Amino acid sequence: MSQTIHVLPDHVANQIAAGEVIQRPASVVKELMENAVDAGATSIEVHVLDAGRTSIQVLDNGAGMSSEDARVCFERHATSKLQSADDLFALATKGFRGEALASIAAIAHVDVTTCQAGSDVGTLVRCHGSEIVGEEPKARAVGTTFHVKNLFYNVPARRNFLKSDAVEMRHVVDEFQRVAFAHPGIAFTLTHQNANLFQLKPGTLRQRIVGILGPKHDERLVPVQEETDVVAIEGFVGKPDSARKSRGEQFLFVNGRFVKHGLLHRAVLRAYDGLISDGQHPLYALHLTVDPARVDVNIHPTKIEVKFDEEQPILAILKSAVKRGLGAHNVAPTIDFDAEVGLNIPDLKPGMEVSEPTVRVNPSYNPFEPAITRPAGSSSGTRSGGMSLGEAHGGWSRPAASGWKDLYQVMESDAPSARPEPQTERSSAEPATTAEQGVEVLQWKGKYLMVPTEEGIAVVHIRRAQLRIQYERFLKAQENATGAVTSQVLLIPEDITLTQPEVLALMDARESLASMGMDLAQVDDQTVQLRAVPADLTTHVREALDAVLESYHEGSWDGESERRERWAKAWAQRSVASGDVSLRMEARRQLIAALWACDHPNMDPDGRQVLSVWAAEDLENPFR
């Protein structure tokens, strides 16, 4: 019988494993930087060409390797961090699986130059596709240099799935920042196309935050420190007034390792209850130190997720520590115990007479008597006398009903002969031909428009209709670049400080933003200048920019169509006023005409119903 099950060759197994560990050039940068940290380096340099497609170099001054270690390091599951299975329960280093270098070598050309202390000369080892193709002595100071070239050269499908250089470089910067935040005592350098992006000196965590995020963040930081038997917490959170609607300034570390943990993030947000509005995200860079035996970092190939043995106590301690930090620096609301507390009773002025309250009773009131036979002066709204319900509750009364006729007052329509003839063919999405000039549109309660149609009456929700109109307007402006969005030039351009990845993202999307009416210019690596915004968003300048950055931080930046839809939806929500509105007749007609012209007038961008048609027969039935 023929054998159908066989063992995969090592190079194929390594390429499969590389798909889990090495997803893009940023993954290579992360793994090599973490190896340099584990080697005890005090200075790490990262040099990137073509966003990592062509070349990634990582240089460190760590312990280095011997010539034997330089050859063995490319073998799968080769590691110096573990000796037995028990070591998995006390991990204090970054890399321990022994998969990173083997995965990188399986899909790229890798040169490693290393030298240990006490060695007269270093060693150069070349590895192509998991095969060592050369080894020779080479001069080098103590430390290691990894040079990764032609990433995914033997896996063309993976290389084709890479995004643009700007997108991939933003991921590289993200990974660089995370490692740099985790180790403020190490000097880091990052260059792209031989241009210096970051040059961070060793220092405190506060200095590292300012060095990466910008000098304006220095005054926004509030220190947090807590030490218990379960967890030690140290770091900084941002003041509530610096919270933004977009994410990207949230950094959480467990035992020096950047992690993503939804429950820990929500614990920090709960500490801001009452200080920031819903949908805002505060800045924080927090380091949690937990007993390595009480945390599992081996649940994901990239080691970005962790699992705690004592999760609930850690969440409670984190929330309490952040709240205490905010309160200690007069950020949280405080109680003034010296303030006089009492009833707000006005002083008695000279000559003022105070009369005893009286209760008025109507002895002729009978609750069982029909209203038509009640004596004059009595009504269903008065009980126990002539005092009305409004008078019994501090003088409140119903509004006068004399203005009810205003509801039906509409402007005089044009003569019938001046109206255009109705169209014979109509889209199924349009209730009727009601957008013609001269059609009377009734507004009710500042929320709805009532439009006469051939089928009956169309009731339109004003705000949802405006959302649909603006959404399609912004969306078509991006797709067609027709310049349909009117741009308003700012009298004084506004300089906005952002992170390095955010600046790169905005510059990458500059043309798309220009088609929507937003004009941006780069001032430096961490500052952009806003020169013009859509005319509808002049009062929401920063919110409009945050709406753009939201799609970057939430992972929808790479998909062009998804990104456009998110921008159009977010900008539409900010350009439409909330609450009741009062529209003139001409504005009502224009709104209805614009809604009928939409591709999908029945639903707003969130899928809520915009209009409802009351059929003519339903309106006539009660009167038959």
Map 369-393 to HEC letters: CCHHHCCCCCCCCECCCCCEHHHHC
Give per-residue pLDDT as tens, 156-182.
888 888 888 878 888 899 899 999 999
d(Cα 380, Cα 35) in Å, to the nearest integer?
83
pLDDT bracket for residue 480 (50, 70, 90): low
pLDDT for 183 equals 93
371: how many CB neighbours lie within 10 A of its CB? Answer: 8
d(Cα 95, Cα 24) in Å, to the nearest integer?
18
pLDDT bracket for residue 415 (50, 70, 90): very low
Look at 126 and 507; give whichever has higher pLDDT: 126
Class of residue 404 by CB neighbours under 10 A (exposed 0-12, middle 13-18, buried 19+): exposed
d(Cα 144, Cα 63) in Å, to the nearest integer?
8
pLDDT for 398 equals 40
pLDDT for 95 equals 56
d(Cα 291, Cα 156) in Å, to the nearest integer?
43
Helix (H), strand (E) at residue 20:
helix 10-21
Most confident of 221-225, 329-333, 349-353: 221-225
Contacts of 575 (CB under 8 A, 6+ apart): 470, 534, 536, 537, 540
> Chain-wide mean pLDDT for the chain?
76
pLDDT bracket for residue 401 (50, 70, 90): very low
Tally DSSP H helices, then E strands, for the chain.
Answer: 17, 22
d(Cα 237, Cα 282) in Å, to the nearest integer?
7
In the chain the first and final C-alpha atoms are separated, in Å, by 87
Determine the average pLDDT of the residues in 308-336: 80
Tokens of 502: 């955010």
Which residue in 253, 110, 114 sits closest to 183, CA to CA? 253
Give per-residue pLDDT as tens, 601-616.
888 888 888 888 887 7
Look at 456 and 131; give whichever has higher pLDDT: 131
pLDDT bracket for residue 559 (50, 70, 90): low
Look at 384 and 96; give whichever has higher pLDDT: 96
pLDDT for 458 equals 84
Give per-residue pLDDT as tens, 12-33.
666 665 656 788 899 999 999 9
What domains appear along the chain, each with residue ranges and CATH number? 10-200 (3.30.565.10), 206-328 (3.30.230.10), 409-624 (3.30.1370.100)
Task: Please count the residues of the chain.
Answer: 624
Residue 542: is its pLDDT beyond 50?
Answer: yes
User: What is the Cα gyration radius of the chain?
Assistant: 34
Q: Is the pTM of this model over 0.85?
A: no
Look at 276 and 378; give whichever has higher pLDDT: 276
> Long-range contacts for 511-517 (Cβ within 8 Å, ≥24 apart)?
512/478, 512/563, 512/564, 512/567, 513/548, 515/477, 515/478, 515/481, 515/483, 515/485, 516/474, 516/477, 516/478, 516/485, 516/567, 516/571, 517/477, 517/485, 517/486, 517/487, 517/488
Determine the average pLDDT of the residues in 472-484: 67
Lowest mean pLDDT among 513-527, 536-550, 599-613: 536-550
435: how many CB neighbours lie within 10 A of its CB? Answer: 18
Please give the C-alpha separations between residue 73 and each of 34, 135, 150, 465, in angstroms, as whole numbers. 15, 14, 20, 62
Look at 34 and 85; give whichever has higher pLDDT: 34
Determine the average pLDDT of the residues in 72-96: 61
Give per-residue pLDDT as tens, 31-59.
999 989 988 999 999 999 999 999 999 99
584: how many CB neighbours lie within 10 A of its CB? Answer: 10
**Rounded percentage of the chain residues whose pLDDT exceeds 90:** 22
Mutual angle of helices 165-182 and 25-38, in 10-degree steps: 20
Which residue in 12, 11, 31 sits closest to 21, CA to CA? 31
HSE at residue 604, side-chain half, CA atoms within 13 A, is 20
Tokens of 421: 């003839």
Give per-residue pLDDT as tens, 361-382.
777 777 676 554 444 444 444 4
- Torsions phi, psi for 2 (to 5 deg): -80, 145
Please give the C-alpha separations between residue 66 and each of 119, 247, 496, in angstroms, as whole numbers. 9, 44, 49
d(Cα 260, Cα 245) in Å, to the nearest integer?
19
Residue 184: is its pLDDT beyond 70?
Answer: yes
Residue 109: is its pLDDT beyond 90?
Answer: yes
Lowest mean pLDDT among 18-27, 250-259, 404-413: 404-413
pLDDT bracket for residue 425 (50, 70, 90): very low
